[in-house]
């Protein structure tokens, strides 16, 4: 056993480091939020419609969020790669799993911040006036999905960080992998955006998202070490 700090204090330190960088440079989250608002404007002009509702609205919201996630995932290992931070991280006597947890937690927080901006902006810009959005269930769906997105995103970011065509590999790798989340998220969100309010199948979808989160969290923890060897 290495006698370094424990798993959680190491993850916490790495997370704090990422948040400090993000607070000072303000690179990822503002870009993701701005991107999503720009996509909403594009959607308005691209379709010539003022409002969306039902399944279409849910689908557009989710596609936008996932595309914005790609931006965050692209930047996730940028300090490690461009400024040689990865060597420092690897030299530290901590479990490699801590790197994964730190990165996934950072991405999770970025996604929550993105949604705090993007979802109200979506409701304001593209939902019909006065449509009753079920805020609490929607927040639950978003948070649960963010866990899975953060796990897959951190894994993909690490996988792509050593490739030459990183900017191309991330979207091609991430988007197919999160299709199940897009299906479940959009299906669960659809009734929450309309007048219907409650969703009979909400629990089933939340259950599926939960299973997805579990599988990819465990899988990522299991394989992440191999991405950071040497």
Partner 1 sequence: MFGRGLRALSVATALAVLVAFGLIFFYAPNDADQGFVQKIFYLHVPLAIVCLGGFIAGGVLAVKFLRSGDRAWDLRSYVAIHMSVILGIAVLITGSIWAKASWGHWWVWNEPTLVVFLIVFLLYCVYQPLRFSIEDSERQARYASVFAITAGVFVPLCFAAVRLAQPLVHPRVLTGAGASLPPSMALTFFVCLLAMTLVYVTLCKVELTSKHSRDMIRRLRRRLEPAGG
Which residues bind to partner 1, rule: CB under 8 A?
A: 155, 159-160, 162-165, 168-169, 172-173, 176-177, 179-180, 183-184, 187, 204-205, 208, 211-212, 215-216, 219, 223, 226-227, 229-230
Q: Exposure of 213 by Cβ count < 10 A (0-12 exposed, 13-18 middle, 19+ buried)?
A: buried
- DSSP symbol at 163: S
32, 62, 195: which is closest to 141 by C-alpha? 62
Give dist(CA 32, CA 29) in Å, integer: 5
Q: 127 by DSSP, 3-state: which?
A: strand
The residue count of the chain comes to 230
Tokens for 105?
Answer: 């937690």
CB of 100 to partner 1, least distance (A): 12
Nearer to partner 1, 110 or 212 (CB): 212
Tokens for 46?
Answer: 């691209």
CB of 135 to partner 1, least distance (A): 24
CB of 223 to partner 1, least distance (A): 5
Quick check: 149 and 70 in contact, CB under 8 A? Answer: no
Nearer to partner 1, 115 or 190 (CB): 190
Nearer to partner 1, 92 or 177 (CB): 177
CB of 191 to partner 1, least distance (A): 14
Nearer to partner 1, 36 or 220 (CB): 220
Nearer to partner 1, 50 or 87 (CB): 87
- DSSP symbol at 52: B
CB of 204 to partner 1, least distance (A): 7
Sign of the CA dihedral running 135, 137, 139, 142: negative
Nearer to partner 1, 58 or 126 (CB): 58
Q: Exposure of 67 by Cβ count < 10 A (0-12 exposed, 13-18 middle, 19+ buried)?
A: middle
CB of 164 to partner 1, least distance (A): 4
């Amino acid at each position: 056993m290495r006698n370094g700090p424990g798993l959680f204090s190491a993850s916490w330190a790495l997370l704090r480091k990422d948040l400090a960088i993000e607070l000072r440079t303000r690179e990822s989250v503002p870009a993701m939020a701005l991107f999503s608002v720009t996509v909403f404007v594009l959607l308005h002009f691209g379709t010539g419609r003022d409002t969306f509702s039902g399944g279409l609205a849910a689908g557009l919201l989710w596609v936008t969020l996932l595309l914005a996630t790609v931006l965050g995932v692209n930047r996730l290992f940028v300090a490690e790669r461009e400024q040689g931070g990865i060597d420092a991280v690897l030299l530290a006597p901590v479990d490699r799993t801590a790197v994964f947890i730190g990165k996934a937690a950072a991405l999770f927080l970025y996604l929550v911040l993105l949604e705090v901006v993007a979802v109200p902006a979506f409701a304001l810009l593209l939902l019909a006036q006065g449509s009753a959005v079920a805020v609490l269930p929607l927040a639950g769906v978003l948070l649960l999905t963010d866990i899975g997105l953060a796990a897959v995103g951190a894994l993909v970011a690490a996988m792509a960080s050593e490739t030459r065509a990183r900017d191309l590999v991330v979207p091609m790798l991430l988007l197919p992998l999160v299709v199940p989340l897009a299906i479940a998220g959009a299906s669960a969100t659809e009734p929450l955006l309309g007048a219907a309010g409650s969703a009979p199948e909400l629990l089933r979808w939340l259950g599926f998202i939960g299973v997805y989160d579990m599988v990819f969290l465990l899988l990522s923890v299991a394989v992440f070490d191999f991405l950071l060897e040497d």
